Amino acid sequence: MAGGPFIYTKVDSLEGKPKVFGGECAGLVQWHTKVGKADTWREGIKVKGNASQISKGTAVATFVDGRYPNLPHGNHAALYLSQDGTGIWVMDQWSTKPAISKRKMLFKGLNADGSYKDPSNNGDALSVIMHE
């Protein structure tokens, strides 16, 4: 199945709403877009620096070697809102977050080994979700 990006145009309406689809981060983008199961996700363009190519409400996530790791911790999926010189605004949820809400994922850079520092909270780590 080829495709993407996957966009939820009413993303602003989600602020403060109850969590969906089990409350996990991937559940939010799966519930509101046709992105499908996380094991089908492939890495598209990096979010940082590509604001003109990414629509508000686009499903984004962290990737390792082009694939979504789908681990209990250390990866993230969200809906893109905007970006500036210090980070990326997303609409997201996770199991211990009280409700769906927006937040800024600051740019935190890389570790010495080339992996992303704190990828679940690092704007540098986000890419657009695509399918092969």
Residues annotated as part of the active site: 25, 76
CB-count burial class (<10 Å; 0-12, 13-18, 19+) for 69: middle
Cα torsion through 28, 128, 38, 89, rounded to 10: -30
Token readout for 55 is 């629509």
